[in-house]
A and B are shown apart, each in its own frame.
Chain A
Amino acid sequence: MLHTLAVLVENHPGVLIRVAGLFARRGYNIDSLTVCQTEDPNVSRMTIVVYGDDQIIEQVRNQLSKLVVVHSVTDLTGESVVDRELALIRVEVSVETRSVVLQTVEVFRGRVVDMGRSNITIELTGDIAKIDAFVHAIRPYGLLELVRTGKIAILRSDV
């Protein structure tokens, strides 16, 4: 199954290649990987979505923890989390399809961020299922370009 790992790493050049190289070498499959600075400028946070059974995920976690540049590894799978992905989607529009495309964007609470003569660009935020659903809905009208950030996630606070 898919697991979401939150990995805190040193914010240094060369850290990404250590992590990515480890996945390649050991044959683990990365579904998505995002990385950026955190509240501490010396620390970056990677959100890695990886596919594997429990034994493989345990190996992934242990192997990651062994890297000197990795501060911590947390498996967010099964935890109560808020997770989001951002997508930018360019869709072909004609006079006939324009209104139905815009209606679809509205239903999914997307925003039009750029408009050309024959296409529009939509910004959409949500969990992976929502973005998948939107892409599925919009595809018949002419999906021209799709950019997704990959998932980021954070644990929910205790109520």
Chain B
Amino acid sequence: MNEEKKGSNGATVLLNALHLEDVDVLFGYPGGAVLPLYDALLDSPIRHVLTRHEQGAVYAADGYARVSGKVGVCLATSGPGATNVVTGIANSYLDSIPLVVLTGQVSTSSLGTDSFQEVDIIGITMPITKHSYLVKDPRELPRVIKEAFYIARTGRPGPVLIDLPKDVLAQENVESFSSEMQLKGYKVFGIGNNGKSEEVAKALSECKKPVLYAGGGVVTAGAEGVIRQLAEKTDLPVVTTLMGIGSLPFGHPNLLGMVGMHGTVTANYAVDDCDLLIAVGVRFDDRVTSGLGHRFATKAKVIHIDIDPVEISKVVKTHIQIVGDARTVLEEVLDVMPGFTVPQVADWWKQLRVWKNDHSLSYDLDRLTPQMVIKCLGEQVSENTIVTTDVGQHQMWVAQYYPTVNPRNYATSCGLGAMGYGLPAAVGAQIARPDDLVVLITGDGSLQMSMQELGTIAQNKLPIKIILLNNGVLGMVRQLQKIFYEERYSHILLEGNPDFVKLAEAYGILGIQVDSSEQVLSAITEAIKHPGPVLVNFTIAPDEAVFPFVPTGKEITEMIVR
């Protein structure tokens, strides 16, 4: 498809190139600089979902990408449109989510003159994009689009931004151009194992207290199946990061839970005490290591498997390093395992079970609690249900209590921790998978950062179920102020909160109010049964806190358990 019909303008060439990349939906918001593109969209088979804010568009594209495994695409105009997608780009960058972000730009003749709605979005986003392009000639568009999608989805995925001056989109009679990629400097690392599978298998067969530590790279590579096989064949205990939730299904006997700041006691003790740590698709983030890389898993031989060579030995000193795709690498390890003895881990499991019994997660049953709501929801929905969350206490409770069995059914803002992510991410998820139930679990602080997207839900009749855990405060900040600032609560009360049930109804969304634990089950079943969107407002106590809790700067064994 290197030739284009005579008579196409830049915008049409762009949309055709997107179509060739299998793009079925754009999340966007129009404006002056992208008028030629919006005009061409009317004649394109590509669907456009109008959000209520450009930030919603980029989060929706991110949610779409996480639950579908495809590249998410969003579109904003120049200037304020472009700056409004910045937080979303940072969010996708930190979580390695493949995104192509299209921004309008002033015409090439006006570039650099501070003209109306002009910002240097390439400059602004350079530290948070995997790559970016300023297209100055529409004949470059087929090549640029092809390269952008290739870069976004290969290796360690990430966002790629394409800045599109208005005259480039509007130029008529664009003809004869090539879509051949010119990426001499782009390297995709590690297809193979460099013969290190035997080393891993040997280390595994010789250890007594192994732990596998799984992160987002497992999800990207689709390695959850092979992790399960490895775990079951060698009776390997598994901990996950927030990004890695679902690497082993919730409830699997080998799963010790999440590791790190709000991880389980067992997971944290296990990582601290293990003699072999197999780290797969992780970057030893400070929410896992407490920022104490040199004191993390100090008794262990550390094997680090990651597709990005930059991550190897960045934080923690490792003993075996493998740069590669998590699935390919682990499949090769599985292949050579029969040549080695299975590790003797019975004593290790005895210890792990003691910790598990002594420190299981728990909450009060005699009143309405957020944990109870999440647990009840988990019992009522099918395995294909997608859950998105915002950021804060509710996010941690979901990580602890929601039974995620497939990592692609779970979308949350991890590295950036961006409040306001959940609702637009649910929009993207529902568009990507229209036949699956999509539930947003959020708090009253987070929801109000993207509340305008209720209009997007209403307009597109998306049957998203919103579980609002409403405590009237910024709960996570309150919890930190309670513990570290002697209950000097500073600016965490959300006293101007609306009546969320009435607000939902104003958008034509069913609103349900829940005040007591007895109402939880019936409210959740009613929400699931309702064919359209629903918001259930659970009024919970502001004092509810997330435990366990590793204070910043403390080792992961120094948890506040309750």
State the A residues within 8 Å of B (CB): 9-10, 14, 17-18, 21, 25, 55, 58-59, 62-63, 65-72
| In contact, B310 and A59 (Cβ under 8 angstroms) | yes
Query: Told that A10-B185, A21-B127, A59-B310 touch, could you supply 11 new A-B pairs with CB distance under 8 A?
Result: A9-B185, A14-B134, A55-B313, A62-B310, A66-B308, A67-B185, A68-B130, A68-B151, A68-B183, A68-B186, A70-B185
| In contact, B314 and A68 (Cβ under 8 angstroms) | no
A55 to B123, CA, bound (A): 29
A-chain residues with CB within 8 Å of residue B313 when the two chains form the complex? 55, 58
A-chain residues with CB within 8 Å of residue B186 when the two chains form the complex? 68
Q: Which residue of A lies closest to B122 (CB)?
A: A14
Query: Chain A interface secondary structure, helix, strand, loop or mixed?
Result: helix
B-chain residues with CB within 8 Å of residue A71 when the two chains form the complex? 184-185
A62 to B141, CA, bound (A): 29
| In contact, B308 and A25 (Cβ under 8 angstroms) | no
Which one, B126, B151, B187, contacts A21 given CB within 8 A?
A: B126
B-chain residues with CB within 8 Å of residue A68 when the two chains form the complex? 130-131, 151, 183, 185-186
A18 to B184, CA, bound (A): 16
| In contact, B310 and A63 (Cβ under 8 angstroms) | yes
A77 to B508, CA, bound (A): 68
A65 to B187, CA, bound (A): 8
A-chain residues with CB within 8 Å of residue B131 when the two chains form the complex? 68
Q: Is B190 an interface residue (CB 8 A)?
A: no
**Nearest CB in chain B: distance from A134 CB, A:** 38
Q: Is B309 an interface residue (CB 8 A)?
A: yes
A55 to B293, CA, bound (A): 14
A45 to B126, CA, bound (A): 21
Chain B residues 125 to 155 lying within 8 A of chain A, measured CB to CB, are: 126-127, 130-131, 134, 151
Show 18 residue pairs from A and B whose CB-CB distance is below 8 angstroms, ordered by the A residue: A9-B185, A14-B122, A14-B134, A17-B126, A21-B126, A59-B310, A59-B314, A62-B309, A65-B187, A66-B308, A66-B310, A68-B130, A68-B151, A68-B185, A69-B185, A70-B185, A71-B185, A72-B185
A-chain residues with CB within 8 Å of residue B126 when the two chains form the complex? 17-18, 21
Q: Which residue of A lies closest to B127 (CB)?
A: A25
A58 to B311, CA, bound (A): 11
**Nearest CB in chain B: distance from A47 CB, A:** 17
Residue interface mask B160-185, A partner, CB < 8 A = 1: 00000000000000000000000111
B-chain residues with CB within 8 Å of residue A17 when the two chains form the complex? 123, 126
Number of interface residues of B (CB under 8 A): 18
A58 to B309, CA, bound (A): 10
A9 to B186, CA, bound (A): 11
A72 to B151, CA, bound (A): 17
A-chain residues with CB within 8 Å of residue B123 when the two chains form the complex? 17
A-chain residues with CB within 8 Å of residue B134 when the two chains form the complex? 14
A25 to B310, CA, bound (A): 15
Q: Which residue of A lies closest to B310 (CB)?
A: A62
B-chain residues with CB within 8 Å of residue A55 when the two chains form the complex? 313
A-chain residues with CB within 8 Å of residue B183 when the two chains form the complex? 68
Residue interface mask B70-98, A partner, CB < 8 A = 1: 00000000000000000000000000000
A73 to B183, CA, bound (A): 16
B-chain residues with CB within 8 Å of residue A9 when the two chains form the complex? 185
B-chain residues with CB within 8 Å of residue A10 when the two chains form the complex? 184-185
Central interface residue in B184, B185, B313, by most chain A CB within 10 Å = B185
Sorted from nearest, which 4 A-B pairs have the closest CB atoms?
A62-B310, A71-B185, A68-B131, A62-B309
A18 to B123, CA, bound (A): 9
**Nearest CB in chain A: distance from B183 CB, A:** 7
A86 to B34, CA, bound (A): 49
**Nearest CB in chain B: distance from A66 CB, A:** 6
A46 to B130, CA, bound (A): 21
**Nearest CB in chain B: distance from A70 CB, A:** 5
Q: Which residue of A lies closest to B317 (CB)?
A: A55
A-chain residues with CB within 8 Å of residue B310 when the two chains form the complex? 59, 62-63, 66
A19 to B183, CA, bound (A): 17
A69 to B130, CA, bound (A): 11
Chain B residues 15 to 56 lying within 8 A of chain A, measured CB to CB, are: none
**Nearest CB in chain A: distance from B259 CB, A:** 24
**Nearest CB in chain B: distance from A62 CB, A:** 4
**Nearest CB in chain B: distance from A54 CB, A:** 10
A-chain residues with CB within 8 Å of residue B122 when the two chains form the complex? 14
A70 to B187, CA, bound (A): 10
Q: Which residue of B lies closest to A58 (CB)?
A: B313
Central interface residue in B122, B127, B183, B308, by most chain A CB within 10 Å = B127
Q: Which residue of A lies closest to B123 (CB)?
A: A17
Q: Which residue of A lies closest to B185 (CB)?
A: A71
Q: Which residue of A lies closest to B136 (CB)?
A: A13
B-chain residues with CB within 8 Å of residue A72 when the two chains form the complex? 185
**Nearest CB in chain B: distance from A150 CB, A:** 23
**Nearest CB in chain B: distance from A13 CB, A:** 9
**Nearest CB in chain A: distance from B121 CB, A:** 13
**Nearest CB in chain B: distance from A128 CB, A:** 29
**Nearest CB in chain A: distance from B68 CB, A:** 25
Residue interface mask B113-124, A partner, CB < 8 A = 1: 000000000110
**Nearest CB in chain A: distance from B423 CB, A:** 31
Chain B residues 474 to 497 lying within 8 A of chain A, measured CB to CB, are: none
A-chain residues with CB within 8 Å of residue B184 when the two chains form the complex? 10, 71
B-chain residues with CB within 8 Å of residue A18 when the two chains form the complex? 126
A56 to B70, CA, bound (A): 35
A71 to B184, CA, bound (A): 6
**Nearest CB in chain B: distance from A16 CB, A:** 12
